[in-house]
């Protein structure tokens, strides 16, 4: 029954609807695929019993004529989303035994629509990282390998488990989150589609917080249409998140396949960075040509503050993290390491519970918020953030969406950058601007590099204009006709 796992979400929903197979059958096929793929380390918790129970309940709902939009579809959930009664760790030792008493709004929306949970997906610890190597469960391995090579590659991060699971057909789609690129960069590294919607489109309630003003949930999937179907279910106003936008959710799938004729596509000149591999530049040119052929008008735009985006992000995100992660004190959640007194217990719990990268961020964040440095760093970074958002506002005067590469490289080898945080942070160069400005951004697989590894192109849109991104993403997907799959070695 392994072919059930290679269906797109859309095809699976159609097959379930016309009773070609049941949810129990397609769920079982996925459970077996997940068990056979443990070498990838994509799942940190498999929940097969729960999955089959959900699948059988789904089959019953369908039989009684109550099928939801995702009825019976088995999905993977990033371990940053709280799942009621199911361990949720954010891939950190400090939450190793945390079993939430509540469900995140995004996952609740998926279950409301009939989806089935296969388990929880690996990730960088607290979503801090670009390679999945900060997970307390060990890194995920990218299902893709370079042609003729056996080196293990990163699936990207922080949503590396989501990306690997989708690429290796261990779920029909997955949830992910993106604070500075964590949906889009892993999508690019694994030949999958990922969209970070507009800030406020998806509720953050029940998503373990990293940097609250930047965090957004979004889907990862194997096609643009599948991503649209998932985002439609995940989105919606939620009174439990004060930053959730009180707007209607369009049926995003209706935008896929729509003509993009006449749309003006901006190409930001500041994204032509030094040392970018020629292949990525060539793919970008190819993407421009594809959109031109589809009837778009190409315009050059300038986002002059781009060069300050990474430094600003790596101040704002750690600052917010240092505040959000203050709650892990050994008293209320997860790990407690008993010390000689209260302060010692706090210190030892945090020292043993948090990983190295998380501690680095907490120290940076505490420093930039401290008296005397607040104005020099944090406040300055907020001002830069405003400028970056203004740059995009300017760009929207002359274009409807932007096209850029998603990441400055293809998937790199595990271990390559793990000792050099700055090199790791540079991977986020094309993605962090979008979070700082709160805009939607999508990565679409567009081609392979000379080593046979996938590369992605990024589309950036106006706030709440995900619809246009889905139309453009659909056009790119069609033109690129990306069908490559990782060769199965696991
Ligand atoms: N790589 C970035 C970071 O480490 C982005 C992470 C994310 O989007 N969650 O902060």
C-alpha of residue 91 to centroid of ligand 1, in Å: 14
Nearest atom, ligand 1, residue 179 CA: 8
The C-alpha atoms of residue 272 and residue 198 are separated, in whole angstroms, by: 25
Cα 298 to averaged position of ligand 1 atoms, centre (Å)? 30
Contact 133, 123 (CB under 8 A): no
Span from the CA of 424 to the centroid of ligand 1 (angstroms): 10
Q: What is the pLDDT of residues 127-172, one digit of tens each?
A: 999 999 999 999 999 999 999 999 999 999 999 999 999 999 999 9
Dist. CA 334–CA 347, nearest whole Å: 14
Residue to substitute in 121, 123, 127, 204 for testing ligand 1 pocket (most ligand atoms within 8 angstroms of CB): 127
What per-residue confidence (pLDDT) applies to 274?
A: 85
Evaluate: CB of 75 within 6 angstroms of ligand 1: no
Q: With a 6 A CB cut-off, is 179 part of the ligand 1 pocket?
A: yes
What is the Å distance from ligand 1's center to 380 Cα?
21
Structural domains of the chain, with CATH: 2-260 (3.90.1300.10)
- 412: which 2 tokens? 């790199």
Point out the residues that are catalytic.
Answer: 78, 158, 182
Residue pair 398/299 in contact (Cβ under 8 Å)? The answer is: yes
Which residue's C-alpha comes closest to atom 10 of ligand 1? 128
The rounded distance, in Å, linking the Cα atoms of 404 and 91 is: 31
From the list 20, 160, 10, the residue with the least C-alpha distance to 76 is 160
Looking from the CA of residue 128, the nearest atom of ligand 1 is 4
Edge-to-edge strands of the sheet including 441-448?
43-46, 116-121, 74-78, 174-178, 216-221, 193-196, 441-448, 454-461, 401-405, 264-268, 297-301
Lookup: tokens for 360:
């680095």
Q: Within 73-200, where are the H helices?
A: 105-112, 160-167, 184-190
Q: Of 122, 130, 320, 407, which is best to mutate to test ligand 1, by the most ligand atoms within 8 angstroms of its C-beta? A: 130
- Cβ(178) – ligand 1 distance below 6 Å: yes
Q: Output the CA 381–ligand 1 centroid distance in Å.
A: 17
Q: How far is the CA of 350 from the centre of ligand 1 (A)?
A: 21
User: Which mutation among 181, 183, 381 tests ligand 1's pocket best, with the greatest number of atoms within 8 A of CB?
Assistant: 181
What is the pTM assigned to this prediction? Answer: 0.98
Half-sphere exposure of 153 (CA within 13 A, CB side): 24
State whether the beta carbon of 315 lies less than 6 angstroms from ligand 1: no
**Is 156 close to ligand 1, i.e. is its CB under 6 Å away?**
no
Q: For residue 219, what are the β-bridge partners?
A: 175
Which atom of ligand 1 is least distant from the CA of 182?
8
User: Which atom, in ligand 1's list, is nearest to the CA of 210?
Assistant: 9
Is 129 touching ligand 1 by the criterion CB < 6 Å?
yes
Kindly give the distance from the C-alpha atom of residue 210 to the centroid of ligand 1, in angstroms, as a whole number.
9
CA dist 136 and 138 (Å) reads 6
What count of other Cβ atoms lies within 10 Å of the Cβ of residue 246? Answer: 9
Residue nearest to atom 5 of ligand 1 (CA): 180
Q: Residue 115 and residue 219: Cα distance in Å, rounded? A: 13
User: What are the contacts of 97-103 at 24+ separation with CB within 8 A?
Assistant: 97/334, 97/335, 98/333, 98/334, 100/206, 102/206, 103/206
**Ligand 1 center to 179 CA (angstroms):** 5
Is the CB of 216 within 6 Å of ligand 1?
no
Residue 162 and residue 155: Cα distance in Å, rounded? 9
Note down pLDDT in tens along the chain; length 490 residues: 459 999 999 999 999 999 999 999 999 999 999 999 999 999 999 999 999 999 999 999 999 999 999 999 999 999 999 999 999 999 999 999 999 999 999 999 999 999 999 999 999 999 999 999 999 999 999 999 999 999 999 999 999 999 999 999 999 999 999 999 999 999 999 999 999 999 999 999 999 999 999 999 999 999 999 999 999 999 999 999 999 999 999 999 999 999 999 999 999 999 998 888 999 999 999 999 999 999 999 999 999 999 999 999 999 999 999 999 999 999 988 899 999 999 999 999 999 999 999 999 999 999 999 999 999 999 999 999 999 999 999 999 999 999 999 999 999 999 999 999 999 999 999 999 999 999 999 999 999 999 999 999 999 999 999 999 999 999 999 999 999 999 999 9
Q: Which residues touch 239 (CB under 8 Å, ≥6 apart)?
A: none
Q: From the CB of 391, is ligand 1 less than 6 Å away?
A: no
Query: CB of 182 closer than 6 A to ligand 1?
Result: yes
Q: How far apart are CA 446 and CA 483, in angstroms?
A: 10
Any atom of ligand 1 within 6 Å of the Cβ of 320: no
């Amino acid at each position: 029954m392994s072919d059930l796992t290679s269906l797109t979400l859309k095809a699976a929903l159609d097959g379930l609807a016309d009773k070609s197979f049941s949810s129990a059958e397609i769920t079982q096929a996925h459970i077996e695929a997940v068990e056979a793929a443990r070498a990838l380390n994509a799942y940190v918790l498999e929940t097969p019993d729960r999955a089959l129970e959900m699948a059988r309940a789904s089959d019953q709902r369908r039989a009684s004529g109550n099928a939801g939009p995702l009825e019976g579809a088995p999905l993977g959930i990033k371990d940053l989303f709280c799942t009621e009664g199911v361990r949720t760790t954010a891939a950190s030792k400090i939450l190793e035994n945390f079993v939430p008493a509540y469900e995140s709004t995004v996952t609740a929306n998926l279950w409301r629509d009939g989806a089935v949970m296969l388990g929880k997906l690996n990730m960088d610890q607290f979503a801090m990282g670009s390679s999945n190597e900060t997970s307390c469960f060990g890194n995920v391995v990218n299902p893709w390998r370079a042609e003729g090579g056996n080196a293990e590659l990163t699936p990207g991060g922080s949503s590396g488990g989501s990306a690997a699971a989708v690429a290796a057909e261990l779920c029909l789609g997955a949830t992910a989150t993106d604070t500075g690129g964590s949906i889009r960069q892993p999508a690019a590294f694994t030949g999958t589609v990922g969209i970070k919607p507009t800030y406020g489109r998806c509720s953050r309630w029940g998503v373990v917080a990293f940097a609250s003003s930047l965090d957004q949930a979004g889907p990862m999937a194997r096609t643009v249409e599948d991503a649209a179907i998932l985002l439609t279910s995940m989105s919606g106003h939620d009174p439990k998140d004060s930053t959730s936008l009180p707007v209607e959710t369009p049926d995003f799938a209706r935008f896929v396949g729509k003509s993009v004729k006449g749309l003006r596509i901006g190409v930001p000149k500041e994204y032509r960075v030094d040392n970018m591999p020629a292949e990525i530049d060539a793919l970008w040119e190819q993407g421009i040509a594809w959109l031109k052929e589809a009837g778009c008008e190409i315009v050059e735009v300038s986002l002059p503050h781009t060069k300050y985006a990474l430094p600003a992000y790596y101040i704002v995100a750690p600052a917010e993290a240092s505040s959000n992660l203050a709650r892990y004190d050994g008293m209320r959640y997860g790990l407690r390491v008993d010390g000689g007194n209260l302060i010692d217990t706090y210190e030892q719990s945090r020292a043993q519970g948090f990983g190295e990268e998380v501690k680095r961020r907490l120290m940076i964040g505490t420093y930039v918020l401290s008296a005397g440095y607040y104005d020099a760093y944090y406040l300055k970074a907020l001002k830069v953030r405003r400028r970056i958002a203004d740059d995009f506002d300017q760009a929207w005067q002359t274009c409807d969406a932007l096209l850029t590469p998603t990441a400055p490289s293809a998937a790199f080898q595990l271990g390559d950058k793990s000792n050099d945080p700055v090199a790791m942070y540079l991977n986020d160069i094309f993605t962090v601007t979008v979070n700082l400005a709160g805009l939607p951004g999508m990565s679409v697989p567009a081609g392979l590099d000379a080593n046979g590894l996938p590369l992605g192109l990024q589309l950036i849109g106006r706030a709440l204009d995900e619809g246009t991104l889905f139309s453009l993403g659909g056009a790119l997907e069609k033109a690129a006709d990306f069908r490559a799959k990782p060769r199965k070695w696991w």
